[in-house]
Amino acid sequence: MPQAAKITAVDALPANEAKWIEFQKITWSDQEGKSRVWEAASRKTRGQSGVDAVAISTVIRHPSKPPSTIIILQYRPPADAVCVEFPAGLVDASETPSDASLRELHEETGYKGKLSYISPTIVSDPGMSTANMQLATVEVNLNEGDKEPEQVLDEGEFIERVVVPLDELFERLEKYSKEGKKVDARLWHWAAGLHFARTML
Protein backbone atom coordinates (compact mmCIF):
# COMPACT_ATOMS: atom_id res chain seq x y z
CA MET A 1 0.00 0.00 0.00
CA PRO A 2 1.72 3.23 -1.12
CA GLN A 3 1.96 6.09 1.36
CA ALA A 4 1.20 9.75 0.55
CA ALA A 5 4.06 11.49 -1.22
CA LYS A 6 5.18 14.78 0.33
CA ILE A 7 7.75 17.54 0.04
CA THR A 8 10.51 17.49 2.65
CA ALA A 9 12.57 20.50 1.51
CA VAL A 10 12.58 23.26 -1.10
CA ASP A 11 15.95 24.82 -1.90
CA ALA A 12 17.23 27.25 -4.49
CA LEU A 13 18.62 25.28 -7.43
CA PRO A 14 21.89 26.67 -8.84
CA ALA A 15 21.81 26.72 -12.66
CA ASN A 16 24.89 24.50 -12.95
CA GLU A 17 23.22 21.72 -10.93
CA ALA A 18 20.01 21.62 -12.99
CA LYS A 19 19.71 18.49 -15.13
CA TRP A 20 16.22 18.78 -16.62
CA ILE A 21 15.56 22.47 -17.00
CA GLU A 22 17.57 25.62 -17.67
CA PHE A 23 17.03 29.35 -17.50
CA GLN A 24 17.36 31.51 -20.56
CA LYS A 25 17.98 35.23 -20.70
CA ILE A 26 16.34 36.14 -23.99
CA THR A 27 17.38 39.45 -25.51
CA TRP A 28 14.82 40.61 -28.04
CA SER A 29 14.08 43.58 -30.20
CA ASP A 30 10.52 44.81 -29.60
CA GLN A 31 7.98 46.29 -32.02
CA GLU A 32 9.62 49.72 -31.75
CA GLY A 33 13.14 48.33 -32.23
CA LYS A 34 13.98 48.68 -28.54
CA SER A 35 16.22 45.99 -26.99
CA ARG A 36 14.58 44.21 -24.05
CA VAL A 37 15.18 41.15 -21.89
CA TRP A 38 12.80 38.27 -21.07
CA GLU A 39 13.44 35.44 -18.60
CA ALA A 40 12.27 31.96 -19.50
CA ALA A 41 12.55 28.39 -18.25
CA SER A 42 13.33 25.71 -20.80
CA ARG A 43 13.42 21.91 -20.87
CA LYS A 44 16.80 20.37 -21.72
CA THR A 45 15.25 17.17 -23.08
CA ARG A 46 13.73 18.27 -26.40
CA GLY A 47 14.59 15.79 -29.17
CA GLN A 48 14.51 15.62 -32.96
CA SER A 49 10.78 16.31 -33.21
CA GLY A 50 11.20 19.79 -31.72
CA VAL A 51 8.28 19.02 -29.40
CA ASP A 52 8.73 18.55 -25.66
CA ALA A 53 5.59 16.63 -24.78
CA VAL A 54 2.27 15.17 -25.81
CA ALA A 55 -1.08 14.81 -24.07
CA ILE A 56 -3.87 12.49 -25.12
CA SER A 57 -7.61 13.14 -25.19
CA THR A 58 -9.03 9.64 -25.45
CA VAL A 59 -12.54 8.77 -26.54
CA ILE A 60 -13.69 5.35 -25.38
CA ARG A 61 -16.73 4.02 -27.18
CA HIS A 62 -18.55 0.99 -25.81
CA PRO A 63 -21.78 -0.73 -26.96
CA SER A 64 -23.64 -0.16 -23.69
CA LYS A 65 -21.77 2.63 -21.88
CA PRO A 66 -21.72 6.38 -22.55
CA PRO A 67 -18.74 7.86 -24.47
CA SER A 68 -15.94 8.35 -21.96
CA THR A 69 -12.42 9.69 -21.62
CA ILE A 70 -9.45 8.69 -19.46
CA ILE A 71 -7.77 10.95 -16.96
CA ILE A 72 -4.86 10.19 -14.68
CA LEU A 73 -4.09 11.09 -11.09
CA GLN A 74 -0.53 11.37 -9.86
CA TYR A 75 1.40 13.29 -7.21
CA ARG A 76 3.40 16.15 -8.75
CA PRO A 77 6.11 17.73 -6.58
CA PRO A 78 5.92 21.22 -8.22
CA ALA A 79 2.23 21.40 -7.22
CA ASP A 80 2.72 19.45 -3.95
CA ALA A 81 -0.57 17.74 -4.71
CA VAL A 82 -2.15 14.89 -6.57
CA CYS A 83 -2.71 16.34 -10.03
CA VAL A 84 -5.49 15.39 -12.42
CA GLU A 85 -4.36 15.36 -16.03
CA PHE A 86 -4.82 13.88 -19.45
CA PRO A 87 -2.38 11.02 -19.99
CA ALA A 88 0.81 12.76 -21.15
CA GLY A 89 4.56 12.47 -21.33
CA LEU A 90 7.77 13.69 -22.87
CA VAL A 91 8.54 12.77 -26.48
CA ASP A 92 11.60 10.52 -26.63
CA ALA A 93 14.67 11.79 -28.52
CA SER A 94 14.03 10.00 -31.81
CA GLU A 95 10.27 9.41 -31.58
CA THR A 96 7.45 11.22 -33.37
CA PRO A 97 4.79 12.97 -31.26
CA SER A 98 2.15 10.66 -32.79
CA ASP A 99 4.08 7.55 -31.70
CA ALA A 100 4.70 9.09 -28.27
CA SER A 101 0.94 9.63 -27.85
CA LEU A 102 0.06 5.99 -28.46
CA ARG A 103 3.00 4.80 -26.32
CA GLU A 104 2.18 7.06 -23.36
CA LEU A 105 -1.52 6.20 -23.47
CA HIS A 106 -0.65 2.51 -23.40
CA GLU A 107 1.91 2.83 -20.59
CA GLU A 108 -0.15 5.08 -18.34
CA THR A 109 -3.58 3.53 -18.90
CA GLY A 110 -3.13 0.13 -20.57
CA TYR A 111 -5.40 1.15 -23.44
CA LYS A 112 -4.37 0.91 -27.08
CA GLY A 113 -6.19 3.04 -29.59
CA LYS A 114 -6.15 4.66 -32.98
CA LEU A 115 -4.83 8.19 -33.40
CA SER A 116 -7.55 10.18 -35.14
CA TYR A 117 -6.05 13.68 -34.83
CA ILE A 118 -2.97 15.44 -33.53
CA SER A 119 -2.81 19.18 -32.99
CA PRO A 120 -0.11 21.45 -34.34
CA THR A 121 2.62 22.41 -31.87
CA ILE A 122 1.09 24.54 -29.13
CA VAL A 123 2.85 26.38 -26.31
CA SER A 124 2.25 25.43 -22.68
CA ASP A 125 2.87 28.69 -20.78
CA PRO A 126 4.48 31.11 -23.25
CA GLY A 127 4.89 34.01 -20.83
CA MET A 128 7.17 31.91 -18.65
CA SER A 129 8.65 28.98 -20.52
CA THR A 130 9.64 27.64 -23.91
CA ALA A 131 7.73 24.37 -23.24
CA ASN A 132 5.61 23.13 -26.11
CA MET A 133 3.40 20.11 -26.82
CA GLN A 134 0.91 18.50 -29.14
CA LEU A 135 -2.55 17.26 -28.14
CA ALA A 136 -3.59 13.95 -29.69
CA THR A 137 -7.08 12.50 -29.99
CA VAL A 138 -7.09 8.71 -29.69
CA GLU A 139 -10.16 6.54 -30.22
CA VAL A 140 -10.60 3.32 -28.32
CA ASN A 141 -13.44 1.03 -29.40
CA LEU A 142 -14.42 -1.60 -26.87
CA ASN A 143 -16.67 -4.61 -27.18
CA GLU A 144 -19.14 -5.88 -24.61
CA GLY A 145 -17.23 -7.79 -21.92
CA ASP A 146 -13.75 -6.41 -22.72
CA LYS A 147 -11.63 -6.46 -19.57
CA GLU A 148 -9.86 -3.34 -18.31
CA PRO A 149 -6.26 -3.60 -19.60
CA GLU A 150 -3.14 -3.53 -17.40
CA GLN A 151 -1.04 -0.38 -17.08
CA VAL A 152 2.66 -0.62 -18.04
CA LEU A 153 4.28 1.52 -15.36
CA ASP A 154 7.92 1.91 -14.45
CA GLU A 155 9.07 0.98 -10.97
CA GLY A 156 8.41 3.89 -8.62
CA GLU A 157 5.68 5.28 -10.88
CA PHE A 158 2.29 5.66 -9.18
CA ILE A 159 -0.39 6.65 -11.64
CA GLU A 160 -4.09 6.05 -11.11
CA ARG A 161 -6.28 6.04 -14.22
CA VAL A 162 -9.96 6.90 -14.16
CA VAL A 163 -12.45 6.38 -16.98
CA VAL A 164 -15.02 9.20 -16.86
CA PRO A 165 -18.16 9.61 -18.99
CA LEU A 166 -17.69 12.81 -21.03
CA ASP A 167 -21.03 14.08 -19.71
CA GLU A 168 -19.68 14.00 -16.16
CA LEU A 169 -16.13 15.23 -16.78
CA PHE A 170 -16.49 18.89 -15.82
CA GLU A 171 -18.36 18.15 -12.58
CA ARG A 172 -15.83 15.43 -11.75
CA LEU A 173 -12.96 17.91 -12.10
CA GLU A 174 -14.78 20.40 -9.85
CA LYS A 175 -15.20 17.63 -7.30
CA TYR A 176 -11.51 16.60 -7.39
CA SER A 177 -10.60 20.25 -6.95
CA LYS A 178 -12.80 20.57 -3.86
CA GLU A 179 -11.01 17.52 -2.42
CA GLY A 180 -7.65 19.32 -2.70
CA LYS A 181 -6.41 17.72 -5.89
CA LYS A 182 -5.04 20.12 -8.51
CA VAL A 183 -6.43 19.91 -12.01
CA ASP A 184 -4.04 20.54 -14.90
CA ALA A 185 -5.00 23.78 -16.66
CA ARG A 186 -5.08 22.13 -20.09
CA LEU A 187 -7.42 19.33 -19.02
CA TRP A 188 -9.57 21.92 -17.23
CA HIS A 189 -9.80 24.05 -20.37
CA TRP A 190 -10.77 21.05 -22.53
CA ALA A 191 -13.50 20.06 -20.09
CA ALA A 192 -14.65 23.68 -19.76
CA GLY A 193 -14.94 24.01 -23.57
CA LEU A 194 -16.96 20.80 -23.72
CA HIS A 195 -19.15 21.92 -20.81
CA PHE A 196 -19.62 25.35 -22.37
CA ALA A 197 -20.84 23.84 -25.65
CA ARG A 198 -23.41 21.76 -23.81
CA THR A 199 -24.71 24.38 -21.39
CA MET A 200 -24.21 27.86 -22.83
CA LEU A 201 -24.70 27.60 -26.60
Considering only residues 116 to 145 of the shown chain, the ones binding its own copies according to CB under 8 A are: 119-133, 135, 137
Give me the least distance between CB of 126 and its own copies, in Å please.
4
Q: Which stretch binds its own copies (CB under 8 A): 1-9, 91-99, 105-113, 140-148?
A: 1-9
Q: How many CB atoms lie within 10 A of CB 180?
A: 8
- Which residues on neighbouring strands pair with residue 59, listed in sequence order? 139
B/e letters for 68-98, b = 16+ CB within 10 Å, e = fewer, are bbbbbeebeeeeeebbbbbbbbbbeeebbbb
Q: Which of the stretches 92-100, 103-111, 142-150, 183-191 binds its own copies when contact is defined by CB under 8 A? A: 183-191
Instruction: Say if CB 124 and CB 46 are below 8 A apart.
Output: no
Q: Of 147 and 201, which has the nearer Cβ to its own copies? A: 201
Least gap, CB of 147 to its own copies (angstroms): 25
- The stretch among 9-17, 94-102, 103-111, 145-153 that binds its own copies (CB under 8 A) is 9-17
DSSP letters, 82-122, are EEEE-SEEEPPTT--HHHHHHHHHHHHH----EEEEE---E
- Phi and psi of 172, rounded to 5°? -65, -40
- Closest by CA to 129, choosing from 28, 35, 39, 29, is 39
Within residues 153-182, the interface with its own copies by CB under 8 A covers 156, 158, 166, 174, 177-178, 182
Nearer to its own copies, 96 or 124 (CB): 124
152 scored as a contact of its own copies (CB under 8 A): no
Minimum separation from the CB atom of position 150 to its own copies (A): 19
Contact between 22 and its own copies by CB under 8 A: the answer reads yes
| CB closer to its own copies, 78 vs 145 | 78
